[in-house]
Amino acid sequence: MTKGTLLRNNPLLGALALAVLVAALTFTHFQGGLSMQLGEVLLSVQSQHEDGLVVSFVRAP
């Protein structure tokens, strides 16, 4: 096994993380905003006025 992050060494976990991100972006596009905590990381996605999205990852205390 080569050195690297867990997401690079296990393609299934990488695909799951990418699927969660895509689902969050899709939900936000239709609903206007989403915020969820994944372990110690807070994922916040907000809709902009000109069909844009602001994605922020914040380390939760």
Q: What is the pTM of this model?
A: 0.52
Alpha-carbon gap, residue 51 to 18, rounded angstroms? 21
Tens-binned pLDDT, residue by residue, of the chain (61 aa): 566 666 566 778 778 888 987 887 777 777 777 787 878 888 787 777 777 777 788 886 6
Contact at 8 Å (CB) between 33 and 47?
A: yes
pLDDT above 70: percentage of residues in the chain: 82
Look-up of token digits 């006025």: 49
Between vectors from CA 13 to CA 29 and to CA 42, what angle results, nearest 5°? 50
